């Protein structure tokens, strides 16, 4: 199970990329998620994750994301400067292996 939030770029790009990542990672059939937009209420989101004994695995930063969001989830930030799903998956794989 993997939990991913996308940040930066445009809403249309994040929505398209979230759908592609869900498909490639098999998440529609699993327990993980890819959120195309950062949570509006980070405290409630964090509380919900904690109730399930989970953490955010990756905040995919496509450039231009809000600094306060990047600071809040700094342990999960994966910098990716392209919205190509293969590039994002490669960066995600590298970050998770290194982490």
**Where does 32-84 show beta strands of DSSP type E?**
33-35, 58-61, 77-79
pLDDT above 70: percentage of residues in the chain? 99
Number of other CB atoms surrounding residue 92 within 10 Å: 19
Closest to 49 (Cα-Cα) out of 82, 4, 90: 4
Q: How far apart are CA 73 and CA 59, in angstroms?
A: 7
Average pLDDT over residues 35-60: 94
How confident is the model over 75-87, as pLDDT tens digits? 999 999 899 999 9
Q: List residues bridging with 59 in a β-sheet.
A: 5, 77
pLDDT above 90: percentage of residues in the chain? 89
* pLDDT for the residue numbered 1: 83
Domain boundaries, the chain: 3-98
Residue 30 has pLDDT above 80, yes or no: no
Q: How far apart are the first and last CA of the chain?
A: 16
The structural architecture, per CATH, of the domain 3-98 is 3-Layer(aba) Sandwich (3.40)
């Amino acid at each position: 199970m993997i939990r991913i939030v996308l940040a930066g770029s445009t809403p249309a790009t994040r929505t398209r990329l979230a759908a592609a990542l869900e498909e490639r990672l098999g998440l529609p059939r699993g327990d993980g998620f890819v959120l195309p937009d950062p949570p509006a209420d980070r405290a409630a989101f964090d509380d919900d994750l904690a109730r399930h004994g989970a953490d955010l695995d990756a905040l995919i930063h496509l450039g231009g994301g809000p600094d306060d969001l990047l600071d809040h989830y700094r342990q999960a930030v994966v910098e990716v400067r392209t919205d190509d799903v293969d590039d994002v998956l490669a960066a995600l794989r590298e970050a998770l292996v290194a982490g």
